[in-house]
A and B are shown apart, each in its own frame.
Chain A
C-alpha cells in the first residue's frame, strides 16, 4: 500500500516559560498556511493548539507538542509531565477551573481552555495521571 504523505514536527514547551509561550502554536499555524490548508481549518487548529500549549505553560513542568499533517487531517498531540488532572470530567465542564489567582491575573484560567479545544476538534482524547502528567490528542479534519 502506498503510504500517505505525512508531515511531522515536534516542539518543546517549557512550563512557566511565559517568554516563549505561544511560539509552538504560531509555528504550527505558519506551517499549515504554507501547506495550503483551508483558512477555517487553520483557525480551528490555531485555537486548539494555542490553548493546549498554554495549558502546558500554565500548569505543567514541561511538555511537547507534536504536529502531524496528512492531506486528510491535522493531528496534534500535546504531552506533558506535571501535576495531571484529578477529575477529567470536571475539567471538561465550561467554567470549571483550578487556576490560581496569579494565572487569572494573566487573563487565563476562565475554565474554557479544554472545552474550547474540544469544540474545535473532530476527535478529542484526554488521558491524565495525577502526579505524572497529561496527554491530549486531537484530530481536525477539513
Chain B
C-alpha cells in the first residue's frame, strides 16, 4: 500500500505506554507494544486526538518551525482566521496581522476574505449541482481522509472547491512574485494552523497537486512571540480595524460555512462520532433533501483545533463577536467571484482516490474465514475492553490475534482466569486425577 504523510508522530523516548492515545483514537489505529505506542499508518486519519490525549506530550505534530523558512527572500504569514479568536476582545484582526510582521514575517495576509470567496463559490456550486445529495464539505483534511477510508462511496460528494488557505496563498504568492520580481521558490507562504492535519493538505493533498503553501506553524508555537509583539505594538500605527471583514470571519466556528450560504437545507456537524453518524445515514441513502453538510472533525470547528491555545468556547465567542461587528460588510465583490467561478478559478481538478482500511485479507474468501475466526476469538475474551493487552477493545484484539499481530496470551484477564482455574503449585498429583 502507498505510504501517506501523517501529521503526528510518536516520540519513542518520551512515550511511556500509558495508552491514553490508544483509547482516544477514533479509528482504533494505535496499539501499545512493549510499552510503546505505535500508530498503524493505514488506519490513521490524522485527527490529532492522540496528541491531545497524551499526558506526556510524546506525540508530536509534524508542523514546521521558524527556521524552516530562512531560505526564502520574502516570507508571508497566512494565519488561519482561528488566530483572530485567540486574544482579548480588543485585539482586532488588523492588529494581529501587524503583530505578525513584528514577529519577523515580511508580511501577514488575511485568509477570512478567501473564506468569503470560497463561500460564494460554494453557493454557486450547490445551485448548479445535479448529482446525489447531500454534498459534503472538503475543507477539513481529517474529514477527507475519513471519507477516503471509511466512506469511499461518498468521495464524489466531496465538493471540488479549493480551500480558503489555498485560495489566499495562490493569490498573494503570484501578486508578490510579480511586484517584487521574485521567483516562486523565493517567496515563502506559511500557514498558521490550528491543527496538525492542515499539514496533510499541504504535504500530501488528496488530489495530488502541489500546494501553494510551503509549510505551517502551529498557532500554539506562534502564540508566545506574537503575544510579546502585540504588547510592544503601537496600536495607533496598526492596521485599521476594517482591514479584515466579511462573512468569512465566521468560518472558524462550527456552522460558520453554513451561515454564509443562502440555503436553508444545510447541516453543520462537528466531532468525528457525530460526523460518522451522519455519513452513515448518507450512505444508507438518507438525507437526500439536505443540500450540504459542513463536516468538522473538531466538535467546535477549527477554533477547537488541537494546536490552539484559547479555550474553544471562549474562542468561539470571540469569533462570533467579530462576525457581529465586521461580518456584514462584504470583503469580496459577489459578481467578481461568480465570474472567477465560471472560469473555474476555485475548482479542483482530479479525483480523490479511495484508500479504505486494509481488509482482513485481499482474498474475499479468506477474509470471510478470518472474520469468522475473529468472532470466535472474541467470544472467548472478557469483552470489557480493558486495554491491558495493548489494543483498544477486545474486538480489535481478536483481530490482532487472528491476523497474527499479537498472541492470545497478551490478554491478562484470560491469563488470570487460567491461573485461578489451575491447581495450586505443589498440590498432590492425585487431586488432579480425581477431578479430571
Q: Give 17 CB contacts A-B under 8 Å.
A: A5-B364, A5-B365, A5-B366, A5-B368, A33-B356, A34-B367, A35-B364, A36-B356, A36-B367, A39-B354, A46-B285, A47-B283, A50-B285, A69-B368, A70-B368, A71-B364, A71-B368
B284 at the interface (CB under 8 A from A): yes
Q: Among the interface residues B360, B363, B364, which one has the most CB atoms of the partner chain A within 10 A?
A: B364
Interface size on A, residues (CB 8 A): 28
| Cβ contact within 8 Å between A71 and B283 | no
In this complex, what residue of B is CB-closest to A8? B372
Assembly CA distance A45 to B232 (angstroms):
63
Instruction: List A residues at the B interface (Cβ < 8 Å).
Output: 4-7, 9, 22, 25-26, 29, 31, 33-37, 39-40, 42-43, 46-47, 50-51, 69-71, 107, 116
B52 within 8 A of A: no
CB distance from B54 to the nearest CB of A (A): 28
Asked whether A25 and B284 contact (CB < 8 A) given A5-B368, A6-B368, A43-B153, the answer is yes
Residues in B lying within 8 Å of A, measured CB to CB: 150, 152-153, 280-281, 283-286, 354, 356-357, 359-369, 371-372, 375
Check B357 against A33 for contact (C-beta < 8 Å).
yes
A86 to B367, CA, bound (A): 41
- A48 to B369, alpha carbons, bound, how many Å? 24
Alpha-carbon gap, A46 to B285, bound state (A): 8
CA distance A5 to B368 in the complex (A): 6
CB-CB nearest in chain B for A6: B368
- Chain B residues positioned under 8 Å from A29 (CB to CB): 280, 283
What are the residues of chain B within 8 A of A37 when measuring CB–CB? 364
A7 to B376, CA, bound (A): 12
Contacts known (A29-B283, A46-B284, A47-B285); A39 close to B371, Cβ less than 8 A:
no
Q: Chain B residues near A31 (CB, 8 Å)?
A: 371
B285 with A36: CB separation less than 8 A: no
- Distance between A115 CB and nearest chain B CB, rounded to angstroms: 12
CA distance A6 to B369 in the complex (A): 7
Indicate if the CB atoms of A36 and B364 lie closer than 8 Å. yes
How many angstroms between the C-alpha atoms of A116 and B284 in the bound complex? 11
How far is B399's CA from A31's CA once the two chains are assembled, in angstroms? 12
Complex partner residue of A5 from B150, B281, B369, CB under 8 angstroms: B369
Contact (A34, B371) CB under 8 Å given A5-B366, A29-B280, A39-B152? yes
